[in-house]
Amino acid sequence: MSNSPWIIDVTAENFQQVILEGSMRQPVLIDFWAEWCAPCKALMPVLTKLAEEYQGQFVLAKINIEAEQALAAQFQVRSVPTVMLVAQGQLVDHFTGAKPESEIRAFLAPHLSNPVEDAKTQIRELLGEGQLEAAQMLLQQAIQAWPEEVDLQIDLARVLIQQGQTEDAKTLLDQLPEADKVRPEVKGLVAGLAFADQAPSPEVLAQLAERDDSEARYLKALAHLVQGEYEPAVSLLISIVRDDKGYAEGAANKTLLQVFALLGETNPLVITTRRKLFTLMY
């Protein structure tokens, strides 16, 4: 008997709990085997390894056909090893005979969720809703679980910048692999860090209060960006593109592209602003 919570010896007594009820929560991979079956003994370590590796994405249910003949008959098992996958109380796939690990992974893949992608989806939803603190917490947890996922580190740097934690963001971006530092979104984030250096001082900003020329709008936009006030910043930049496209060799347009990289392409503000920019450019 295994000590793993994801590997269970199934009998008639726990069949309903493990397989029927359990498969409503996550897929259950049933391994029908027998002591005298050499291929079964070759297959079992592979299934055990995958069950441990996938950390609960599926449960491995082991059924000894000699001890549980009624269960073997119920599933119409005619030879061993026979492996069946049950999800939501229904048989969704099966195979017979010992197979290599690569084929078993391919067999499982269509039926299992990807925890990394699930986490990324949840993070994107939080970012889309503007829940930056919750997104930051989830990103930090995800990076601890999957430190090799550079996309998560980039997303965390973006969130840190949006919350004004520029030093932490700079440290994180500096630690990225060299090959990833040339990615457009990373360059956009580095540019986002530069907003703080370019933004006007409070004294200069006060002097700009009554001005509405392109330079004043641009500096006001930078001031908003430093404060994480992206909507008024984008509005000012769009107005420059509309009224004075050539200002400072297209500085407003370039800054908008940096803001897009900073916020991420799924951000609602980016989506709507891109439409406006496209209209103005053509």
Q: Does the pLDDT value for residue 73 go beyond 80?
A: yes
Q: Does the pLDDT value for residue 188 go beyond 80?
A: no
What pLDDT does 180 receive? 93
Point out the residues that are catalytic. 37, 40
Q: Please, what is the average pLDDT of the chain? A: 91
What pLDDT does 2 receive? 62
**Cα gap 118→125, rounded to integer Å:** 11
Average pLDDT over residues 174-193: 87
What pLDDT does 103 receive? 95
Q: Does the pLDDT value for residue 56 go beyond 60?
A: yes
Report all structural domains of the chain as residue ranges with CATH numbers, in order of start. 7-111 (3.40.30.10), 115-177 (1.25.40.10), 198-281 (1.25.40)
Average pLDDT over residues 130-142: 91
**Structure-token match 């053509």, residue found:** 282
**Cα gap 148→97, rounded to integer Å:** 35
pLDDT above 70 covers a percentage of the chain that reads 99
Residue 158 banded pLDDT, cuts 50, 70, 90: confident
**Cα gap 244→212, rounded to integer Å:** 12
What pLDDT does 146 receive? 86
Average pLDDT over residues 126-147: 89
> What tokens were used for 111?
């039926």
Question: Is pLDDT larger for residue 114 or for residue 29?
Answer: 29
Instruction: Indicate the DSSP class of residue 200.
Output: P
**Cα gap 16→8, rounded to integer Å:** 13
Q: Secondary structure of 31-75 in the HEC alphabet?
A: EEECCCCHHHHHHHHHHHHHHHHCCCCCEEEEEECCCCHHHHHHC
The answer, as to whether pTM is greater than 0.75, is no
Long-range contacts, stretch 99-104, CB < 8 angstroms, 24+ apart:
99/43, 100/46, 101/46, 101/49, 101/50, 104/46, 104/47, 104/50
**Lowest-confidence pick of 108-122, 174-188, 235-249:** 108-122
Q: Does the pLDDT value for residue 217 go beyond 90?
A: yes
What pLDDT does 202 receive? 79
Q: Does the pLDDT value for residue 94 go beyond 80?
A: yes
**Cα gap 38→267, rounded to integer Å:** 56
Spatial CB neighbours of 37, under 8 Å, sequence gap ≥ 6: 80, 81
Residue 1 banded pLDDT, cuts 50, 70, 90: low
90 three-class SS: strand
Taking only the tens place, the pLDDT of each residue in 238-277 is 999 999 989 999 999 999 998 988 888 888 999 999 999 8
